[in-house]
Amino acid sequence: MPDSPAVGMEPLLNKAMKLLADDEIDILGIYGMGGVGKTTLLHKMNNELLNLGANHEVVVIMVVVSKKNLSTIQHEIGDRLGCKSQAQDQRDGVVDQHLTRCIFNILSSKKLVLLLDDCWNRVDLKKIGIQVGSKCKVVFTTRSDVVCGEMEAKEKIKVECLDSDKAWSLFKEKVGERALSFDPEIPELAEMVARECGGLPLALIATGRAMASKKTPQEWRHALTLLRKSTSEFSGMGNEVFPLLKFSYDNLQDDTIKSCFLYYSLYPEDHSITNDEIIRHWIGEGFLDGFENLNEAYDKGYSIIGILIDVCLLESDAHRNITVKMHDVIRDMAIWIGNGCCERVDKNLVKSGAHLSEATITEKWSEAQRISLMHNDIELLKDASTTCTNLITLLLQHNQTLRNLSDTFFQFMPALKVLNLSSTSIEHLPKSITHLVELQFLDLSYSRIKQLPGELKNLVKLRYLNLSGMTFLEMIQQRVLSSLSNLQILNIREGGYRNWKVEENEENVRMMGKSV
């Protein structure tokens, strides 16, 4: 694992030491995403406390990881304090009462600062003989804001990614001035490479070290291409950075939350993702099934978003309840997980925001479960008649130059559940849309589609249909809406629906149980 940085740490260290000196604060939580420098800060605090040894007779530093039980933690603390267990059978997870009394008695006459690194759950300190108070203070690091609450932290410090200047300083420190002087083109390329790390110290260190031996602009340009298009293949990322960050994913509570997290990687880098939009996609995928009504499903969706923010896998935008962002390196890690980590299985084909002007259905599509081509400049999407048996989600939104899909385009996508054609210039839906009998989510909003054809009547599993902003829509053919027996939401906001020639008027749609 790369060493953690010292760059940008001084203000955080000063703040932490000031809080630790406050008599009112006995538990201090330090939290932030993986690889951001929390452990470095804790070690620096340890060094400061050792230098101030006259004020604290005992300093304990230890590592708490998810696999350590309370008994193991107790024995490590006991060893540091000179307490020995008398139990011959030290069963895993069983707290030693003799050791508890020994630790308690020793600490009753000493001052202690207990530094716990990498906490994933609450550590019950009382059970192992530690009474937090004026003589005993605890500082812990975690990736989860929830753990800060569970540990009853009186204050907490969030460690953020470095700003651009500090990130560049750290990168230069690791790559070395000599490497930057081999060619006049390299410094500018190096700054671009450093920016791809998004200010995450762990990524900056791994990338800087990998580039320290590169002497030509060609090597630097190749590195930049890898970081932008296939990050996991870049030296140090797939074997060092991503596995460490993956612990946060592995510790998510269940597969539903994990699936919801991975869905964010389908969006472009540095994209503000609307909460309502992604929850609708989750519902279409079936992630949020099992609720009596959609309001309950939305509440569950917002709860999941909150969990992902709390464990630092998502970043709140200015308005937490409207949009969120995913850090670029976390997104790259999520794409890596979605494609089987090192197994190179293309389950998710992600080319969102890649400035594509055309794309072709290839053999890779036949294995993919989710394909994201959103936010591009695609004019032509070629149909190669490949059978996409596994395809569940196809995201084509925000391709303003996409005008046509061939009539056979959807013919070989039998499992498709989620289809987003919003904000495209498509004027006619392909006749083959009639084959999408598993489709549950269809977003046509702000497209140029002129009519909803009779082929839509076969989409009997459709639950969500978005027709908002469809000012070009002229006609909905007979019995299309009434045939969609499972439709729960029909969105016709901001559209010219009063001018549509449609069998069912707004009141009739309400009577059918649709949300308009």
Q: Where are the domains of the chain?
A: 10-158, 164-229, 241-331, 346-511
Number of H helices, E strands in the chain: 18, 20
Q: Which residues of the chain have pLDDT under 70?
A: 1-6, 53-59, 65-66, 86-93, 319-320, 342-345, 384, 495-499, 501-516
* pLDDT value of residue 61: 73
486/261 Cα distance (integer angstroms)? 27
2/241 Cα distance (integer angstroms)? 9
| Residues 145-194: tens digit of each pLDDT | 999 999 999 999 999 999 999 999 999 999 999 999 999 999 999 999 99
**Residue 465, SS3?**
strand
* pLDDT value of residue 92: 60
Q: Are strands 323-325 and 315-316 parallel, antiparallel or unpaired?
A: antiparallel
Whether residue 358 contacts residue 377, with contact meaning beta carbons closer than 8 Å, is answered with no
Amino acid at site 372: S
> Domain 241-331 falls in which CATH fold?
Arc Repressor Mutant, subunit A (1.10.10)
For the domain with range 346-511, which CATH number is right: 1.20.58.110, 3.40.718.10, 3.80.10.10, 3.40.50.800? 3.80.10.10
Is this structure's pTM higher than 0.85?
A: yes
* pLDDT value of residue 2: 42
Q: Are strands 441-443 and 418-420 parallel, antiparallel or unpaired?
A: parallel
Spell out the residues 6+ positions from residue 165 whose beta carbon is closer than 8 angstroms to its own. none
CATH of domain 10-158: 3.40.50.300
**221 HSE (CA, 13 A, CB side):** 5
Q: What are the helix (H) ranges across 82-200?
A: 97-107, 145-150, 164-175, 177-180, 186-195
* pLDDT value of residue 512: 47
* pLDDT value of residue 88: 53
Answer yes or no: same fold for 10-158 and 346-511: no
| CA 234 to chain CA mean position, Å | 20
